Chain A
Amino acid sequence: MTVPIIYYLGLSALLFALGSVGLLLKRNLLVQFMCVELMLNAANLAFVAFSQGRADGSVIVFIVMAVAAAEAGVGLALVVVLFRNRNSLDSEDFRLMKG
């Protein structure tokens, strides 16, 4: 019995929503960033599900992963800089500017 595509899409929507919930719930910068990675993964699942046996989905996933890896490199470098200057990764501690 094959699985209807809609199930995969439902899972991807759920993961996307859970990622955005995590962004609001977590205070640790690193974990917030992990939630963004989760959202990208949800989009990737949607691509593979939508492509239904064509190569395009895998190609897009490949490129998205390369982009995500680049983003992770820069983001983690920023985290390291922040931690060196503040000795904390709590997002509540970052309130120098109003708004």
Chain B
Amino acid sequence: MEFILFLIFSFICIAAVLNMLFQKESVYCALSLVVCMASLACLYLLLQAPFAAAIQIIIYAGAVMVLFLFVIMLLDPRSDSGSGRPRRMLFLATVLGISLFAALAVFLSRSQSFLNSGHPKPAAGQIGAVEVGLALFHRYLIPLEAVGILILMATLGAVLLAKKKI
């Protein structure tokens, strides 16, 4: 059952990404990325990480991609002018992508048996907000504080850069 669900959602995810690559309108690209992110959230659920799934929907699909859509609507750019990239670039991109994938896949598959056996699997069930919160405020306190500063800085920067009259 789990395997079938995995197949379904990974298929949706890959199809959405391929659609994004071949779409001309940027609105459709953004929407297919939303689909991809939503199916990734389902995969997180399969991996016993409901907290990650929830924030994937809330932050990524909900906030970041909506921001993208807002900007697209605001600017209303003309669609990609039909010609696209020159053929040489297309070839280069394909070769590069295949080789990157092949390299990563080889490294990962070489260590396959380690990944399946190496870690003692803890009996703990799902990773919910409680476990995440405990780890976040103990072990990962410093990165959390730094992220706070980072978001303040990004807010400041977005206003400085984009506001018409400061």
A residues lining the B interface (CB < 8 Å)? 1-11, 13-22, 24-28, 30-31, 33-34, 37-38, 41, 44-45, 48-59, 61-63, 65-74, 76-81, 83, 88-90
Contact = CB atoms under 8 A, between A and B. Distances in A.
B89 A3 contact: no
Interface in B31-57: 33, 36-37, 40, 43-44, 46-49, 51-52, 55-56
22 contacts: A1-B1, A1-B3, A2-B2, A3-B6, A8-B6, A8-B47, A15-B17, A16-B100, A17-B100, A18-B18, A25-B85, A31-B20, A41-B36, A44-B40, A45-B44, A49-B47, A50-B115, A51-B127, A63-B140, A69-B59, A69-B151, A89-B26
Contact of A17 (B104, B122, B155): B104
A49 B40 CA distance: 12
A5 B115 contact: yes
A87 B76 CA distance: 10
B104 A13 contact: yes
A23 to B, nearest CB: 8
Contacts of B98: 17
Interface in B103-158: 104-105, 108-109, 112, 115-116, 119, 121-122, 124-125, 127, 131-132, 134-136, 139-140, 143-144, 147, 150-151, 153-155, 157-158
B30 A73 contact: no
A38 B33 contact: yes
B144 A63 contact: yes
Contact of B162 (A24, A53, A58, A81): A81
Contacts of B6: 3, 7-8
B51 A66 contact: no
Contact of A14 (B20, B60, B89, B101): B101
B14 A57 contact: no
A67 B46 contact: no
A67 to B, nearest CB: 7
Nearest to A33: B68
Given A58-B131, A63-B147, A83-B77, A24 B67 contact: no
Given A13-B105, A55-B131, A55-B134, A70 B154 contact: yes
